[in-house]
Structure 1
Amino acid sequence: MAARVFSDEELEGLRSFPAIGKDELIRYFTLAPADAAFLRKFLRPQTVFGAAVQLCTLPWLGFVPDEVFSAPPPAAVGRLAGQLGLPVEVLRGYGVVREQTRTDHLRQVVCRLHGPGGHSRSTPGPRRAWGCWTAGRGGPAVV
């Protein structure tokens, strides 16, 4: 019999986004020029926006909640939309057709942040080590 590690409330917390403060919003949801260049390789507006959410969320939380397209804090979505020049509504189309898209993009984000030639975005040491460790093993799972 398997033991439960997390309560239902804890699991829900891992599947969704918490509220975000102004300092965190500025620190984690401001795209650097190199981030914008990385995001330009994604062809569709939804994939650019979804990958941007993952790129900013991973250093902030240390993982990316499953609800990338519907649950990020509105202030974070608005900030990214302004930087990307995309309407907020575009994010709703991210990963809807092909769920594997989010996982594929997350692997690319991990390599961007922590892989060969990647630059850490002030990610604390344990999270940085986790990202590097999982990148070589098929990437982190989307919770």
Structure 2
Amino acid sequence: MYAAKNLSDESYRRKIARQLNNGESLHSLRRQLHYAREGKITRRQPDHQNEQAWCLTVVTNSAISWHTEYMGLAVGELRAAGREVDAELLAHISPAHSSAVNYYGSITVDYDRELVQLDEKGHRPLRAVATDETAVGL
């Protein structure tokens, strides 16, 4: 039944492909976050293995929550500027990205400088990215 529907219904195939891509995005993020031990659970005791897995889950959920929040802020800013952002399109975007994650070394944070940048809701300012329109001065 599944194979017949998959072969005959293009919209169904696209829906399944989007779901698979979102799942792969999540797996890719988890692999990248867990790279330090080459993706291996290194603890011997089951309790310690469970702790290591839960730590990976907490870090993964933190990255996804951060991306979800700031993607929402970016969409809100675009809409406030008069740009149309299709809600149907947003339904297909996965927040499981690793672009804002530093995997190497340690991070030194100037807390006072960072806290001054926060808005009244505690959000950092969005970074402006030059588009083709802004690059040519349109």
If the length of structure 2 is used for normalisation, what is the TM-score? 0.24
If the length of structure 1 is used for normalisation, what is the TM-score? 0.24
Which has more radius of gyration?
A: 2
